[in-house]
């Protein structure tokens, strides 16, 4: 897949996750597609390309969400940088490895969003509803995340083979 197609995929994911995703009540607190894409980029793409894509993704999310500017950018950036050592150490075809990495990334994202919310409002706003939402998101991301990462990797391999055959 060429870089412009990946940027198009990022635009689709950002628009889907920020508008359509929350407009449908059944999808609230479902799979975090952007974290799944960030993990895919960090594990399977070249480092420089993944950094550029994640900077675009983070800047888009920061400009759309209206929260602390730079929060999503730093979350996705540190996920990519933190995942890079695992590329050489772990078997990335193992589903358990992807579950572990997805769980760590979702936990890190939720922690950083909680810290950002506390910094913005100057008070701790943590309720049972937010805990339940994080648990649902973690469950669904762990359930569907490895499949989505493999799907993205298969699409990438398919487009590389088709591009080389032309």
Name the residue ranges covered by the structural domains of the chain.
Answer: 3-165
Question: Could you tell me if 113 and 34 are in contact, meaning their C-beta atoms sit under 8 angstroms apart?
Answer: no
State the Cα–Cα distance between residues 125 and 137, nearest whole angstrom: 18
- Average pLDDT (22-29) is 72
pTM as predicted: 0.83
| Alpha helices for 45-127 (secondary structure H) | 47-65, 71-89, 95-121
Query: Could you report the per-residue pLDDT of 7-22, keeping only the tens digit for each?
Result: 888 899 888 888 887 7
Tokens of 82: 């933190």
Query: Could you report the per-residue pLDDT of 149-163, keeping only the tens digit for each?
Result: 888 888 888 777 565
């Amino acid at each position: 897949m060429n870089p412009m197609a990946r940027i198009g995929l990022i635009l689709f994911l950002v628009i889907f996750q920020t508008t359509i995703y929350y407009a449908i009540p059944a999808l609230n607190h479902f799979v975090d597609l952007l974290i799944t894409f960030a993990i895919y980029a960090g594990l399977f793409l070249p480092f420089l390309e993944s950094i550029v894509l994640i900077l675009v993704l983070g800047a888009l999310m920061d400009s759309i969400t209206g929260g602390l500017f730079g929060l999503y950018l730093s979350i996705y950036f540190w996920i990519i940088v933190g995942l890079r050592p695992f590329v050489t150490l772990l078997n990335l075809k193992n589903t358990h490895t992807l579950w572990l990495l997805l769980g760590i990334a979702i936990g890190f994202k939720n922690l950083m969003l909680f810290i950002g919310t506390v910094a913005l409002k100057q008070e701790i706003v943590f309720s049972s509803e937010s805990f339940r939402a994080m648990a649902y998101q973690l469950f669904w991301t762990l359930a569907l995340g490895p499949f989505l990462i493999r799907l993205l990797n298969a699409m990438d391999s398919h487009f590389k083979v088709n591009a080389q055959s032309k």
